[in-house]
Amino acid sequence: MENTRRYERLLDRYRHGDVNRRTFLGLIGASATVYGVAGGPFAKFARAATPDQVRFDGWGGIVSEAFREHAFNPYTDKTGITVVDGTFGGADEYLARVRASQDGEFNLAHLSGVFDYSRYHSLGLSSELNEDNIPNLRNVIPALQQVFRNITDGKLSAVPYDYGTTSIAYNRKFISDDEVKEKGAKVMIDPAHKGKIGGWSDWKTRIWYGALQTDQDPNNIEDVEAVWDAIRANRDLVLKYWASGAELMSLLAEEEIHVTEGWSGRIKALQDQGHDIGYYDPPGGLGWQECIFVIKGSPMEACEELLNFMLEPEVAIAVAEGQNYPPALDPRKVELSDKVKALPAFDPGGTLEGLNFFDADYWNSNEEEWSKQYSRVERGY
């Protein structure tokens, strides 16, 4: 029986004197407790995912603003479906929230990297997209799709949306282009810059750069102890490991640090603001791709419609220009704007062969051990 009907029948019985006031209130209270704990009508109110609305969570800041202005608002105007726009501080934090939620509470997420896609899939949080409902998917760079398909048996739980690099950002006032080119990733373990080096506090990035600093392939590390030693060397020279794009920009702009790894879009934003910040992709530099992931239990058709809308060339290009990351659209199929073509990390060939990505299987298989070990190394061990 439907819950509202149950309540109406109970109310009728109370009004007709079949149950007294105390029993009526007791039953209401008990049902509220049961449904609140088990998930029922109250949980349904808490969910954002009803057929007339979907929830999207992203990185906030200029990225969210770009999505809201160029994708969500026009989508709502066109379809009448409201997009509940949430943000998160980091992918790990968001995953913890999703795991603690009920099915359908979170729908679409702007996830970073194949690594996260794989983690969500491993935890049983992946959905299966009906690609017929997303015709604009054919404009997306095939290489970006394929890495996801490899994880989910040829199907997709997400659409690739943008990509970028995490490479070396440096203040030209203190470090020359030639020095960075000569030293590559090792510039961040050069004692000459002690106290003026920064870095992302992400264990994967630290290990990736540790591998580059010890001349190893980050996707096939043979001497992990040498990598830990490189991370220790970096740690002893670092002023601050930053935890967000805003902190990265602040540290560089305020000249607290002179060199760090940086996200291409954020560095472009700094350059656009007039800061003389150089950006260099060292050999083996780190590329990444972001996707819009649909979480299991979401209203699929509404989500697919939004994904298709977000992949409309004019929408994807506008978002890309807003957030400073190239769109996942294949430049061989879609004419991209000059501004997009000038973005760092942009690949005019549409193959992304020049970028290096995390090998999801390799990194996932080491995640438990390495993330824990990094926590110790960062603290002086």
Partner 1 sequence: MGETAGAARPWILLSPALGAIGFLLVVPVFFVIVYSFWLRSATGAEVPGFHLDNWQEVLSDPFYRDILLSTLRIAAITTLSCAVLGYVPAYFIATSRTRHKTLLLLLLILPFWISYIIRTMSWINILGVSGALNQLLVATGIISEPIQMLYNEATVILGLVHFLLPFMVLNVYVSLDAIDPNLADASRSLGASSMQTFREVTLPLSLPGLAAGGLLCFVLAAGTYITPLVLGGPRDAMFANLVFEAIITQLNWPLGSALSIVLLIILGGIVAVYNRLVGIGQIAKSFG
Q: How many residues bind partner 1 (CB under 8 A)?
A: 32
Task: Out of 40, 61, 90, 284, point to the residue binding partner 1 (CB under 8 A).
Answer: 90
Nearest residue (CB) to partner 1, 188 versus 318: 188
Encoded tokens for 215 = 């001349």
With CB under 8 A as the contact rule, which of the stretches 4-12, 174-182, 233-241, 294-302 interacts with partner 1?
233-241
Per CB under 8 A, 123 contacts partner 1? yes
- Report whether 351 contacts 331 (CB < 8 A): no
Residue ranges in 99-118 that form contacts with partner 1 under rule CB under 8 A: 99
Task: Out of 3, 23, 102, 122, point to the residue binding partner 1 (CB under 8 A).
Answer: 122
Residue showing tokens 């998917």: 137
**Cα–Cα dist 147/8, whole Å:** 52
Per CB under 8 A, 203 contacts partner 1? yes
Give me the least distance between CB of 268 and partner 1, in Å please: 22
- Report whether 200 contacts 245 (CB < 8 A): no
With CB under 8 A as the contact rule, which of the stretches 133-141, 209-217, 235-243, 351-359 interacts with partner 1?
235-243
Nearest residue (CB) to partner 1, 80 versus 124: 124
Per CB under 8 A, 12 contacts partner 1? no
Give me the least distance between CB of 251 and partner 1, in Å please: 9
Per CB under 8 A, 70 contacts partner 1? no
Task: Out of 31, 250, 271, 337, point to the residue binding partner 1 (CB under 8 A).
Answer: 250
Per CB under 8 A, 275 contacts partner 1? no
**Cα–Cα dist 280/177, whole Å:** 8
Task: Out of 153, 254, 335, 338, point to the residue binding partner 1 (CB under 8 A).
Answer: 254
Per CB under 8 A, 95 contacts partner 1? yes
C-alpha distance across the termini of the chain, in Å = 60
Give residues with Cβ within 8 angstroms of 343, minimum separation 6.
Answer: 264, 265, 268, 320, 324, 325, 326
Give residues with Cβ within 8 angstroms of 318, minimum separation 6.
Answer: 66, 69, 70, 71
Nearest residue (CB) to partner 1, 131 versus 256: 256
Task: Out of 103, 179, 229, 256, point to the residue binding partner 1 (CB under 8 A).
Answer: 256
**Cα–Cα dist 302/134, whole Å:** 11
Per CB under 8 A, 96 contacts partner 1? yes
Per CB under 8 A, 22 contacts partner 1? no
Give me the least distance between CB of 328 and partner 1, in Å please: 26
With CB under 8 A as the contact rule, which of the stretches 64-72, 126-134, 317-325, 370-378 interacts with partner 1?
370-378
With CB under 8 A as the contact rule, which of the stretches 88-96, 262-270, 288-296, 333-341 interacts with partner 1?
88-96
Nearest residue (CB) to partner 1, 134 versus 277: 277
Count CA within 13 A, CB hemisphere, residue 325: 26
Report the interface residues with partner 1, using CB under 8 A: 90, 92-93, 95-96, 99, 119, 122-124, 195, 203, 235, 238-241, 243, 250, 254-256, 365, 368, 371-372, 375-376, 378-381
